[in-house]
Structure formats: C-alpha cells, structure tokens
Amino acid sequence: MVKLHEMILRDAHQSMLATRMRTEDMLPIADKLDQVGFFSMEVWGGATFDVCIRYLNQDPWERIRLLKKAMPNTPMQMLERAMNIVAYWNFPDDVVKKFIFLAKKNGVDYFRIFDALNDLRNMEVPMKSVKEEGGHVQACLSYTISPIHTVDYFVEKFKKLEKMGADSLCIKDMAGMISPQRAYDIIKGVKDEGVKLPIDLHSHCTSGMTGMAYQRGVEAGADILDTAISPISGGTAAPATESIAAALQGTEWETGYDLKLLIEIRKYFLGVWDKYRHLHRFNALKVDPSVTLHQVPGGMLSNLIFQLEEQGAHGKYQEILIETARVREELGYPPLVTPTSQVVGVQAVMNVLHGRYKVITKETKDYCKGMYGKPPAPIKPDILKKVLGPKWKEEVIDCRPSDLLKPMWSQRKSELKEHSEVNLTDENIMTYCIYQQVGLKFLKGQAQAEFTSEQLPLPIDHPLTRGMVKQSFPEAKQIWIETVPPDERSGPAQIPTEFEVEVDGEPFEVKVIPSGGFLVAGGAPGGALPGKPKDVEGGVKSNMQGTILSIKVKKGDKVKSGDIIATIEAMKMEQEIKSEAAGEVKDIFIKEGNSVACGDLIMQIL
Ligand code: CO
C-alpha cells in the first residue's frame, strides 16, 4: 500500500499560482480533504509565510490554526528550510528552536526539513527541536544531477539522516527532473541498506517523466508519493492526486482512497484555479524536457526570464542558460533550490550582462565564504580568488554558518515592544524576527491584500491591465512573468488614456503616457519620478533595474573613483553602485526606496 502526501494547499499553488491561494479558499474544502486519509497534508512553510504577510494581509499563524481545526484527522505538514526557516537566510539557533516550538503549538505535526546544499549540519538543530516538541521529522535531500550527486551520495546521506533521528525520508526533486531509473536506484539503494523509515518521493511534472518515475519509485519500495488535486497539477506542479490514486488501483500499491470524493474535491478547486486566472502562465502548464539537459528548475527559469526582461536583456536567454550551468559547476554543483538557485541564477545574469565575475553580488560572496553551508564539491580556487579577493583563504569559514550568529529573540522582542500598537505575542515576535520590515508593516496593520482576477478592471490579458498593475503595485511584478508568451504580447492598443482603478476599495488614478510607459498619478509608491533629467554631465546611471536601498553620500561630498555611492536591490540581491570617476556630488536625483530602471540617472558627480 502506498500513501499520498497532498500538496494542493502549499506546493501546488506555489508552483502555479505564485503562492497566492488564501485561507478562505482552503477552509470550505478542508472537511472533504480530511476524509481522504492522506499520509499528510502540506499546508504551510515554503513561500506561504512570506506571501501571506507580504501580499495577502493574512496571518500565517492563524491559517495553520484554522486548518488544523478543520482537518483534525490528517497530519498537517510544513516545508521547513532548515536554518533558513521560511526565509532565505540563516537564523541563529534560538530563533529556529522557538519557531519549531510555535509551529508545533499552532498545529504543524510533520516537519519536512531540507537544506539547499544538503549540508546535514544545517539540519541538526531543526531536526532535534522537532523531536523535542514531539513532532514528526521528515528529513529531505535536495535532488540534483551532477558528478557529485551519485546514487551512493544520496544513500549515504539518507543513512546519516536516519541516525540523526528522522521519522521518514524524502527525495525532494524540486526541479522535476528525476528519471524513473534514478528514482528506482536511490530508493532501492536506501531499502537495501536496511533503512526501515518510510520513503517519500517528491517531484514535479516538468520533465514529463514523473509518472514513470513514481511507478518505478513504488516498485523500488517508495511508501509515499507527493501529488496535488488535479486543477493545480501537472506542468511545473506535481502529478494529479486522482490520476495517481486511479493508476495504483488494483495493484499491491493501492491507496484505498475514494475516487468519488477526490473528484468532488477537484470540482471545488476548479473554482479556486479560476479565481486567480491572472496568474496563469501558459508555459507553467506544459512539460519542458529541456530541464533534463540544463537542470535549471522551472520556477527559476520563469524568474530568470522575468529578470532578464527587467534588465532589458531578454534576447540573452540561451546564453544565460549556458552560463548558469557553468557558474553552478564553478560553485561546486549546488542543487538549484531556494536560496542557491537565486545565487547562481543572478550571478549568471550578471556575468552575461557585465562580463564574468565583474559584478559580484553580496550573496555570491557569502556563498563562497561558506555562509550557506558547505558546497557539495569544493569551489575552484581561481573563482574564490575572483569573488573574495587575494586573501580569500582568510574569508572562508569552516564551521556551521549559524555558529557565527548571536541569539536574536530577546533583542527582536524588545524592538517590537517599541511599537505599542502591535500585540506582543510570541507568534508576532516570530513574524517580526523572520521578516523585519515586511513583518512589521503587516503587524502594524499597514499591509494590503492583493487583488484577485475579479477585481481587475479590464480583461486580465489586456496589455493595459498588465501595465497598470505593474506600476500600481511594484511588489506584484513577479506575478506577471509569462502571463502571456512574449511573442503574443502586443503594445498598448487604441484605448482611453485615463482610468480610475479600484483595488480593494482604494481608488488609483492611472494615466497612460503615449510612449507606452505608465505613470501613476495617485499615491502608489515607487512609481516613475516625473521631472527627473534624462542625462547630465557627470551623470551616474543605474546599470540595472531595482530598488535603491541606501544612498551612501550627500550633496557636496567628495568621492573617489570606486567609492560606493549607493546600494541597490536587484533580482532580490543587494548590490553596490560605485562611482566611476572622482569628483564632488553635485546633485542626487533619487531617494532611498525609489525604483530605478536600467539607465536611470542616480546622481551627478563632477
Ligand atoms: Co516541490
């Protein structure tokens, strides 16, 4: 008998709807989901925490409490990013322990724990904490293909995870590229070594091989398969629950689930799928067997396409793919999963746009220092030298990254106390610990729920709709990735030029500029800056699209060539903007927090 792990409430909509499913979309169907008898329900963690507070104005803690109550018979599972918890950077031990305690208390039963680099040192603290709280540890290995990642590599690591106290094991094939034979060999290898723990196979349909991989997986003894109810399955998401349950009927692996019940649940989710049709991406629905060659996960690909468009370099897609593979090899073959996918992807984009390792992100530096953990293979010394400079040997750490971090909980608690309007619960303190700025905005009641398809004033595939939303909600840009394939996009048609758009009751006046750009007239942050000169003598321009994080100089300051004058966040990475000439800062055309496009004037240095 095989059991299914149901992912419709987490991984499925993270893969296909930019993680935007809301708590109110989940609760009406919870009772039926609870009747199926799933091994576990994935409901929390991954990107859901971030998206809840950033885009949906929903309390993630409340979500887990409500779901647990509505599904008392099914173990609730979360995806926990080891020392990164539900974010993209390392936290100190005290915060990780407290998080596990609170997650368990609020309703999480099973913790799927993974580390992007499969550095087991990063998994120790969260695994131990889950055991102490009486939870179930599902220890995961990130699957990837490289000369390092052999069958033996996975078998040996799984044996270690069993010794570390795991209750079940999971092959996390986040890119959907595991082949049927590879799935068979790893699972068989683990079973043959006498490992008694249940093994779960997690994959996505990206390569088109996944159904076969699941079949070979169960033949090798896989105990659990990861699936999602059909309206949000296939393509970059998991295989459909109903299909896999039907496929196993009448075999020794029969799930015993009621297909009629599953189809009823399917009907419900067709409505949810439609509610977010502005997020549908044609390419995400298709298989992309090229992943078996370039090994770049689907989610990372769509991000790269989007980032290239932002940086005005969408013609370089193929070059970037090749460069991504090269950077990955140079950095010691990290599996491409959050956050390493972003480190490798953005560095590859930088290398193609500005020359190899000419612009180096802070994250690439941190990665090379060992701040994410130990890379699977050693990083080549010439790359370390390029990234960290001639004294690279002194910069590289050998310890577990979180060993370098000071406890953080009490400090954050006292910081949050300053904001009297925030209720000082442990859950709120944790939200603030994990996402300081976004978390505080949410806790102060200043976050706004994003629109759904119904709330958009024009048809969702209208070019004007995309333009308006992009300008009104700079933070919502991510969702416009591949809404329409690039070759099907057209410029603004013959249309009116002024609109009032209402989103959640708040009116936005939007004026359309004939050049094709959009200018937000009312209230939206970070829009275009009217009245800024296009060019001046001694002008320093941004060479990328992003948000200005800090300005390091003021008017009248003298700067030398190479001085850092500002920092910019581009592609979720922090980068420095340096002065190319010596002189005096005559004028500054931007403020901290402004969005800038590639080529925008930042300041004048003469
Ligand atoms: Co996944």
pLDDT in tens, 70-94: 999 999 999 999 999 999 889 999 9
CA of 406 relative to ligand 1 center, distance in Å: 32
392 and 495 fall within a common domain: no
Average pLDDT, the chain: 86
C-beta separation of 430 from 116 below 8 A: no
Asked if residue 451 belongs to a domain, the reply is no
What is the extent of the structural domain holding 522?
458-526
pLDDT of residue 168: 98
CA of 172 relative to ligand 1 center, distance in Å: 7
Residue 348: name the closest of 380, 395, 313, 374 by CA: 313
Neighbours of ion ligand 1 (CB under 5 A): 11, 174
- DSSP-derived pairing of the beta strands 3-6 and 40-45: parallel
Classify residue 129 by its DSSP letter. Answer: H
Rounded to an integer, what distance in angstroms lies between the CA atom of residue 207 and that of residue 479? 23
Rounded to an integer, what distance in angstroms lies between the CA atom of residue 29 and that of residue 34? 9
- Starting at the edge strand that comes first in sequence, how are the strands of the sheet with 498-503 ordered? 498-503, 506-512, 518-520
pLDDT tens, 417-470? 999 999 999 999 999 999 999 999 999 999 988 878 877 766 666 666 666 555
CA of 380 relative to ligand 1 center, distance in Å: 30
Rounded to an integer, what distance in angstroms lies between the CA atom of residue 165 and that of residue 131? 8
Most confidently modeled of 293-307, 435-449, 545-559? 435-449
565 and 588 fall within a common domain: yes
C-beta separation of 503 from 451 below 8 A: yes
Comparing 51-65, 190-204, 269-283, 586-600, which segment has the lowest mean pLDDT? 586-600
pTM: 0.80
pLDDT of residue 69: 98
CA of 446 relative to ligand 1 center, distance in Å: 31
| Residue 473 falls in which region: left (phi positive, over 0), alpha (psi -120 to 50) or beta | beta
CA of 56 relative to ligand 1 center, distance in Å: 21
Rounded to an integer, what distance in angstroms lies between the CA atom of residue 306 and that of residue 585? 34
118 and 90 fall within a common domain: yes
**All residues at 6 or more sequence positions from 602 whose CB lies less than 8 Å from its CB, including other chains:** 539, 540, 541, 542, 548, 565, 566, 577, 588, 589, 590, 596
pLDDT tens, 88-140? 889 999 999 999 999 999 999 999 999 999 999 999 999 999 999 999 999 99
121 and 254 fall within a common domain: yes
CA of 551 relative to ligand 1 center, distance in Å: 38
Rounded to an integer, what distance in angstroms lies between the CA atom of residue 424 and that of residue 127? 27
187 and 206 fall within a common domain: yes
Burial of 476: CB neighbours in 10 Å, binned 0-12, 13-18, 19+: middle
111 and 122 fall within a common domain: yes
Asked if residue 224 belongs to a domain, the reply is yes
Please indicate whether residue 584 or residue 134 has the higher confidence score (pLDDT). 134
Asked if residue 452 belongs to a domain, the reply is no
472 and 579 fall within a common domain: no
Q: Residue 349 corresponds to which tokens in the numbers above?
A: 């984009």
* Single residue among 443, 467, 487 that ends a domain in this structure: 443
C-beta separation of 217 from 201 below 8 A: yes
pLDDT of residue 181: 98
373 and 425 fall within a common domain: no
421 and 552 fall within a common domain: no
C-beta separation of 518 from 510 below 8 A: yes
- Number of structural domains in the chain: 4
* DSSP codes, 69-85: HH-TTS-EEEEE-GGGT
Rounded to an integer, what distance in angstroms lies between the CA atom of residue 284 and that of residue 485? 11
pLDDT of residue 518: 32
Q: Per DSSP, what are the bridge partners of residue 503?
A: 506
Phi, psi of 495 (to 5 degrees): -145, 160
43 and 121 fall within a common domain: yes
CA of 314 relative to ligand 1 center, distance in Å: 27
pLDDT category at 396 given cuts 50, 70, 90 is very high
CA of 46 relative to ligand 1 center, distance in Å: 9
Asked if residue 453 belongs to a domain, the reply is no
Q: In Å, how far from its chain's centre is CA 83?
A: 15
CA of 204 relative to ligand 1 center, distance in Å: 6
Asked if residue 449 belongs to a domain, the reply is no
**All residues at 6 or more sequence positions from 390 whose CB lies less than 8 Å from its CB, including other chains:** none
CA of 88 relative to ligand 1 center, distance in Å: 16
Q: Strand, coil or helix: what is 577? A: strand
Asked if residue 398 belongs to a domain, the reply is yes
Asked if residue 204 belongs to a domain, the reply is yes
Whether 164 has a pLDDT exceeding 80, the answer reads yes
CA of 430 relative to ligand 1 center, distance in Å: 25
CATH number, domain at 307? 3.20.20.70
CA of 6 relative to ligand 1 center, distance in Å: 11
Residue 339: is the preceding peptide bond cis (ω within 30°)? yes
475 and 600 fall within a common domain: no
CA of 176 relative to ligand 1 center, distance in Å: 8
Whether 343 has a pLDDT exceeding 60, the answer reads yes
Rounded to an integer, what distance in angstroms lies between the CA atom of residue 578 and that of residue 567? 9
Q: Is the dihedral of CA 181, 184, 190, 193 positive or negative?
A: negative
163 and 198 fall within a common domain: yes
Q: Which helix (H) or strand (E) holds 299?
A: helix 298-310
CATH number, domain at 590? 2.40.50.100
Q: Which helix (H) or strand (E) holds 162?
A: helix 151-163
Asked if residue 591 belongs to a domain, the reply is yes
